[in-house]
Structure 1
Amino acid sequence: MSEIGLADSPVGEGRSLPIAVKPMRNALVDGPILRTLLSLAWPNIIANTAGTCVIIAETSYIGRLGIEALAAMALVFPLVILTMTMSGGAMGGGVASAIARALGAGDTERASTLASHALLIALLFGAAFMVGMLVFGPALLELLGGRGAVLSHAVAYLQIFFGGAVLPWLMNSMAGILRGTGNMKLPSFMILSSALLQIVLGGTLSLGLGLGMRGVAAGALLAFSVSISVMSWYLFSGRARVRPKLRGLKISRAMFADILKVGAIACFSPLQSVLSIAIFTHMLAGFGTAVLAGYGIGARLEFMMTTVGFSIGMASVPMVGMAIGAEQIARARRVAWTAGLVSFTTMGVLSTGIAIFPQIWVDIFTQDESARSAGRHYLQIAAPMYAFIGLAISMYFSSQGAARVIGPVLAQTARLVFIAAGGSYLLQHAATEGEFFLLAAASMVLLGGLTLASVMLTRWGSNPAMIELRPAALAAARNPGSQPPPRLG
């Protein structure tokens, strides 16, 4: 028997009797977990598959620019990934978490105000990335091992892409707002459209018009602009569950804090992940351009596979967040375990297949046999361990929904220390490239195991701040027919 609520029905003058009415259902809070999770995840998976096509297409036509351009992309790729994962998976997840928890508690007004503050955060962080990378980016690329033509290609890409760094931050924050409401379809459709447009524009500008690496970067920014335009129209036209406030908006520290207590801490996770890749890239640079290019090809597969974990994990954020907001802690936990298992299994099957037949991936990007050999070698060793990356990503996103991200971030710290210490040891002992690839694989297992353990050991549930923010409407919804307590004083 379904639950019923009570409403007043007039009977005669000045009298009323309760009648039974069905409350509004919310599948994110009371629907079947696996089916709801997959229904939210599949639009993300389709969209991120298109993102994979961008990776393949970009690497393919960058390869036509020469092996130096391919090695340059391996250098600049960690910085691009840092921007996209920090604005999307980290801060975007923090935005989605805050809005989902507000909606789960029944406070739509708060969710709308949070959306406005999320856009302000995007503008500030985007500007900071723009200035920081334009000023310090070239020196950083040189520090990572860029020299000669490789460095020139990398700087050319960096100057264009990070000159418009505000755009990916705005795009991913708007997507986070929509995902926090449970709307996965529109952000995913925009990612799909943006990916297809990016392939056409990037290829046309880089090869067709001869702009090289600058054309690849400009194509990405133009595609982002289209997505921003459509999502802005959808949000500000009132078609979403929340509408960012502009008129009469009062800047609130509490609103910033609600987003940043998840998003700012979560930003350390992709930062440490990119530092791990950067350190590893720097170590491999000593083996020559071919090995660096081969590793870059393999790292792009890792990024492609993480989109699967991202799709599933991001779908868990509103489910966990709304369950936490509604104080359904046991359900929030079940969502996290389900998402983790699905992510681990899916990524494990796909990446193991690539490890068995690495030429399917490697041969797409280059005709240089030495780079192909290095790429195949890396994938045979590291690719099966991508399953643990998927587990870590899913647990990370579920922790965002619960506003408990310190554990997964510390797991990334442990991986960073492991790679730095292990890599230093290998360098001192003149290790082979294969031994460095084994180090990368072992670090993935470490990350997945520690992230899972952190979620298991972290207490989820209400804290005084959450209780303080919870509106009386939630209590009324749980006890239909009751009246909120009177305000005193």
Structure 2
Amino acid sequence: MHVQSIDPQDTTVTAAALNPNPAAPAARPPDPLLSAPLLPTLLRFALPNMLAMVATALAAIAETAYVGSFGVASLAGMALVFPLVMLQNMLSAGAMGGGVSSAVSRAFGAGDPARASALAVHAMWIGVAAGSVYMVLMLVFGPALFAALGGQGEALSQAVAYANVAFLGSVFIWLVNTFSSVIRGSGNMKVPSATLLIVAVAQVLIGGALGLGWGPLPRLGMAGVAAGQVVANFLGAAFLLSYLASGRAKVQLRVRSTPLQWPLARDILRVGAVACLSPLQTVLTILILTRLVAHFGTNALAGYGIGTRLEFLLVPIAFAIGVASVPLVGMAIGAGKVARARRAAWTAALLATGLLGVLGLVLAVAPQLWTQHFTTDPEVLAAAALYFHWAGPCYGLFGLGLSLYFSSLGAGKAFGPVMAGTVRLVLVAVGGAALAWAQTPPWTIYALVAFAMAAYGLSTVLAVRMTSWGVER
């Protein structure tokens, strides 16, 4: 057998001799996340995400409190537009963002950081395109949609005033969440979480200053509150762009030197595009219920808006835990460690179920802990309390389904959890139509909400158990 000798002084042949197959990348050490203990790592990843989500929740509370000071009509208007604001966040951070994190983490798991960096550039352009489309759709069709949901009079005017400013910043929101997803896919939770925390604080301060007219600033009302969100996300997107382009991140954003390639975009879209059906289903479910509740009047609609605002915040809380599992699941799948990927998914699901379950039970017993921050109107408070009495006990199962949804994105297997969301949507649509036809009281609608949440969580468990995540290598 012939053995090639290597002259240590001849640097021109050393690399080729050490890697006899130039087409194959040189062997790289496995990522530490492929062997790290699962529960401690999940907790370590989830904590910064949780802090960022708490800040986001506080920003939502502050924003709704600002709106509440404008009157019941403004609260009702916010109830009309808020589902579409949150839809944008769920699409960009949870769905398409999950597809981005999944693709990046699988590339690292397979030992290919160059592919991960190329995926980051493709993710950025997907975010720009999606944000632009969302902005145009909402500015053109938003008023008609709010009216179709039952908005009328002053409530509709307030919804339009907020939406016309908020959706001007759609591209910034998509970029903040896209860049955050890229960084999370590499296993770094601290930078995106710290950025989102600062964005939330900036949103509270700027929105309050412009909406309420602090100091010498004019009182811009709903438009000013919405402007806080736009400015804060612009600043967050600019910072994350500079961070990824600076060379400090594990992923390198090289926009000019990375040609666009369909296979890389497809790697993101095959997970992210399917996953986008889930938040669409969630928001469509809420819109159907909003239309049903609007039949009972403005006070009932305002109370339901307070309740559903928390439900939308459950998504980020479950996101904080579920997204912590994405790099663990994705890297394990990329390395062929399917059993480890599943253990990470179920561990995260148990954490989310416990946290949201406790939160739901507390609010079912004491809804005023949440509702008193938004209004003192007794009829509005009663409507919100009725919602929490029924929906609260099922929050745990809702969190179970959401966490497994995010973990499935990490595995590149979004279809099953999306179908579970379809089960929830069908139950609400068919059941809601039947209740509306029978002219039943409001509590029956909230009971339907609870039943649909439980069905979603259990259906997601079944879907994940039945879906193959690949073959152990």
Shorter-chain TM-score range:
over 0.9
Structure 1 residue 306: deviation in Å? 2.6
How do 1:82-101 and structure 2 match up within 5 A?
A: 82-101=87-106
Contact 1:305–1:351 under 8 Å retained in 2: no
* DSSP 3-state at the match of 2:249: coil
Structure 1 residue 225: deviation in Å? 1.1
Structure 1 vs Structure 2: percent identity of aligned residues? 48
What letter matches 1:115 in structure 2?
Answer: A
Contact 2:307–2:388 under 8 Å retained in 1: yes
Structure 1 residue 303: deviation in Å? 2.2
- In the other structure, the counterpart of 1:214 is 223
Kindly tell me the number of residue pairs found equivalent between the two proteins.
452
- In the other structure, the counterpart of 1:42 is 47
Q: Deviations over 1:402-436 (max 9, x none)?
A: 00000011111111111000000001111110000
- In the other structure, the counterpart of 1:141 is 146
> Please, which runs of 5 or more residues in structure 2 have no aligned partner?
11-27
* DSSP 3-state at the match of 1:164: helix
In structure 2, which of residues 244, 252, 256 is the aligned counterpart of residue 247 of structure 1? 256
Structure 1 residue 248: deviation in Å? 3.1
Q: TM-score, normalised by structure 2?
A: 0.92
In structure 2, which of residues 176, 188, 192 is the aligned counterpart of residue 187 of structure 1? 192
* DSSP 3-state at the match of 2:94: helix
Contact 1:324–1:462 under 8 Å retained in 2: no
1:365 and 2:370 matched: no
In structure 1, which of residues 78, 81, 91 is the aligned counterpart of residue 83 of structure 2? 78
- In the other structure, the counterpart of 1:376 is 385
Task: Using the TM superposition, name which of 225-234 and 255-264 deviates more.
Answer: 225-234
Q: Distance in 2 between matches of 1:50 and 1:251?
A: 36
* DSSP 3-state at the match of 1:319: helix
How do 1:294-443 and structure 2 match up within 5 A?
A: 294-443=303-452
Q: Distance in 1 between matches of 2:153 and 2:471?
A: 55
Structure 1 residue 462: deviation in Å? 5.7
Structure 1 residue 25: deviation in Å? 6.1
- In the other structure, the counterpart of 2:207 is 202
Contact 2:70–2:221 under 8 Å retained in 1: yes
Structure 1 residue 357: deviation in Å? 0.8
Q: Deviations over 1:227-266 (max 9, x none)?
A: 1121111100011111122223221110110000000000
Contact 1:174–1:231 under 8 Å retained in 2: yes
Relative to structure 1, the CA distance from residue 10 to residue 341 in structure 2 (aligned partners, 3 Å threshold; closer, same or farther) is: farther
Q: Distance in 1 between matches of 2:461 and 2:6?
A: 52
Structure 1 residue 444: deviation in Å? 0.2
Structure 1 residue 130: deviation in Å? 1.0
* DSSP 3-state at the match of 1:410: helix
Structure 1 residue 382: deviation in Å? 0.6
1:451 and 2:456 matched: no
Q: TM-score, normalised by structure 1?
A: 0.89
* DSSP 3-state at the match of 1:365: coil
Structure 1 residue 10: deviation in Å? 10
Aligned-pair RMSD on alpha carbons? 2.2
Structure 1 residue 216: deviation in Å? 1.1
Structure 1 residue 384: deviation in Å? 1.6
- In the other structure, the counterpart of 2:181 is 176
Structure 1 residue 9: deviation in Å? 12
- In the other structure, the counterpart of 2:115 is 110
1:293 and 2:298 matched: no
Structure 1 residue 27: deviation in Å? 3.6
Q: Deviations over 1:65-110 (max 9, x none)?
A: 0000000000001100110100010001100000000010001111
Contact 2:105–2:327 under 8 Å retained in 1: yes
Contact 2:168–2:230 under 8 Å retained in 1: no
Structure 1 residue 304: deviation in Å? 2.4
Q: Distance in 2 between matches of 1:257 and 1:180?
A: 17
What letter matches 2:170 in structure 1?
Answer: A
What letter matches 1:150 in structure 2?
Answer: A
Q: Distance in 1 between matches of 2:468 and 2:205?
A: 47
- In the other structure, the counterpart of 2:273 is 264
Relative to structure 1, the CA distance from residue 106 to residue 155 in structure 2 (aligned partners, 3 Å threshold; closer, same or farther) is: same
Q: Distance in 2 between matches of 1:212 and 1:159?
A: 13
What letter matches 2:155 in structure 1?
Answer: V
Q: Distance in 1 between matches of 2:345 and 2:280?
A: 23
- In the other structure, the counterpart of 2:36 is 31
Contact 2:76–2:301 under 8 Å retained in 1: yes
Q: Distance in 2 between matches of 1:72 and 1:28?
A: 46
* DSSP 3-state at the match of 1:250: coil
Q: Distance in 1 between matches of 2:142 and 2:316?
A: 26
Contact 1:316–1:335 under 8 Å retained in 2: yes
Structure 1 residue 305: deviation in Å? 2.6
Q: Distance in 2 between matches of 1:431 and 1:247?
A: 60
What letter matches 2:153 in structure 1?
Answer: G
Relative to structure 1, the CA distance from residue 27 to residue 249 in structure 2 (aligned partners, 3 Å threshold; closer, same or farther) is: closer
What letter matches 1:278 in structure 2?
Answer: L
What letter matches 1:315 in structure 2?
Answer: A
- In the other structure, the counterpart of 1:460 is 469
1:59 and 2:64 matched: yes
Q: Distance in 2 between matches of 1:252 and 1:341?
A: 39
1:161 and 2:166 matched: yes
Q: Distance in 2 between matches of 1:440 and 1:292?
A: 15
Q: Distance in 2 between matches of 1:25 and 1:407?
A: 30
Contact 1:309–1:393 under 8 Å retained in 2: yes
What letter matches 2:161 in structure 1?
Answer: A
What letter matches 1:137 in structure 2?
Answer: G
Task: Using the TM superposition, name which of 354-363 and 393-402 deviates more.
Answer: 354-363
Q: Distance in 2 between matches of 1:374 and 1:247?
A: 54
> Please, which runs of 5 or more residues in structure 1 have no aligned partner?
1-7, 14-22, 464-477, 479-489
